[in-house]
Structure 1
């Protein structure tokens, strides 16, 4: 089992049980104690778990934030997400093929898409696809794979294979975290692999991130800072983060 797959399994186990012993992880994953301890150390360094004597627990903030349902997430920072969506719409053109991730931030872009014609929209977001299902002038493609019920996203190799024969003009995506050093990051390793493929198949990458996502990092990178063509955020971004992004050469626009 690959390292990133094993770590994701650990997170999935903790999501279900909240606490697990090192010995139990050894049994479930069929690896040595040294390997498990190394994985737990790396996950703790990322802030995704908390080590305890003989095992690990899911941090309180992870159980409340990383795995909160899609609808609860979509109700956070609503005005900021609306402002971001209003800016992002200006970078879409009639007839384009665009890739959208399953984020709640992208959901606030969707009402603006109706002003465009003949769009092909490719997404791993179930709620995104449902929101656009009645747009007769659009081709809406929902990538196949394993459904994550709480987030409403689809992940896995099936979606990656579908993307092999697709070329997109533009990808618009959010992330669990972003900083200049680590780029766009997420905590789910399977979704990260799918997003890497989405980035690869897109001519242009726009990151839509409310201020709470900036200055933080998660478990794995799906796009480096150099791959981002445009970053759109809201007016609550702090001066330090804004300066760091500008100094890095990333084009940034603040939605108001």
Structure 2
């Protein structure tokens, strides 16, 4: 195999799973450890990936870099829809449901609007706005206070105090990154504290994270991988990474991107609402 072919294969795997490991590439490509490391070095110099210990991740993965809501709302929309559809089965009428900020939880919130008799507690400005557009007497939305972040989350001591005053049946959380060693992470220190308060207030903790989040590290760990009662990801995640997560979380749900139809309500992510382009915020 030519060097150009190897590097194309490496980039294909990186785009598919969000991260690659040297040991796995050695086995798949049938070349030496040194050859793989040279290929990664070349691709890193070209700005096509970012080298990390033992492998590489997609570029731009700095631990404190926090893209805004609008910037992330156009990424992996099919995957988010598949994950949101799979998450619906965990919600029943009468539940108090926590929703963190983020574009995946925002997608999930659009599906939740069709469920009767639920109470939603969120620190997401975008999620609260979504429910306010179609108010219903059998649904209650509680928005916490605090300082607004680029991800349109309300964080800080006011948000934490409000969250600690409630008891939630289930918490759905989007994350910036997930790693078997570093856990679920965020680039925002204050958001990590608020997210931890959500977990403590909940009976059940569910993480919604598409395959591109694997191997991505934020500066602050929200929780260990083992803390998740359920982790819902998509079928784009490599099987070896699925197994690594399956060994650690309570339940791993892998949503089929091709088969997702938003519980029969939407045939694709384009059928869902789109946030205003003027709104910046991950």
TM-score in same-fold range (> 0.5): yes
SS in structure 2 of the partner of residue 98 of structure 1: strand
Report the number of matched residues: 196
Q: CA deviation at 1:215?
A: 2.4
* Cα distance, 1:116–1:215 mapped onto 2, change above 3 Å: same
1:102-141 matches, cutoff 5 A: 102-133=101-132, 134-136=134-136, 137-141=138-142
Name 2:39's counterpart in structure 1. none
Map Cα deviations across residues 76-125 of structure 1 (whole Å, 9 max, x no partner): 00000000000001100101111101110111112221332221111111
Structure 1 pair 249/165, CA: closer, same or farther in 2 (3 Å)?
closer
Q: How does 1:140-155 map to 2 (within 5 A)?
A: 140-148=141-149, 150-155=150-155
* Structure 1 stretches of at least 4 aligned residues deviating more than 6 Å after TM superposition: none
Deviation at 1:147, TM superposition (A): 1.3
> Equivalent residue for 2:271?
none
Q: 2:60 aligns to what SS in structure 1?
A: helix
| Structure 2 SS opposite 1:79 | helix
Unaligned runs of 5+ in 1: 1-46, 48-59
Deviations 1:225-251 (A, max 9, x none): 222011101110012211111223541
Is 1:177 matched up with 2:141? no
SS of residue paired to 2:191: helix
Where structure 2 has 5 or more consecutive residues not aligned to the other structure, the ranges are: 1-49, 51-58, 257-282
Residues 101-250 of structure 1: pairs in structure 2 closer than 5 A: 101-133=100-132, 134-136=134-136, 137-148=138-149, 150-250=150-250
Residue 222 of structure 1 and its aligned partner are, at CA, apart by 1.2
Q: Which residue of 2 aligns with 1:29?
A: none
Question: Which whole-Å CA distance do the structure 2 matches of 1:250 and 1:240 have between them?
Answer: 17
Higher relative contact order (CA 8 A, sep 6+): 2
Task: Mark the CA change 1:98 to 1:162 in structure 2 (over 3 Å): closer, same or farther.
Answer: same
Q: CA deviation at 1:197?
A: 0.5
Q: What is the deviation of 1:151? A: 1.9
CA distance in 2 between partners of 1:170 and 1:249 (Å): 16
In the aligned structure 2, how far is the partner of 1:97 from the partner of 1:174? Answer: 18
2:229, 2:249 within 8 Å by CA — same for their partners in 1?
A: no
Residues 143/66 of structure 1: CA separation in 2 closer, same or farther (3 Å cut): same
Q: Per-residue displacement from partner, 1:196-239 (whole Å, max 9, x unpaired)?
A: 10000000001000000012322111122222011101110012
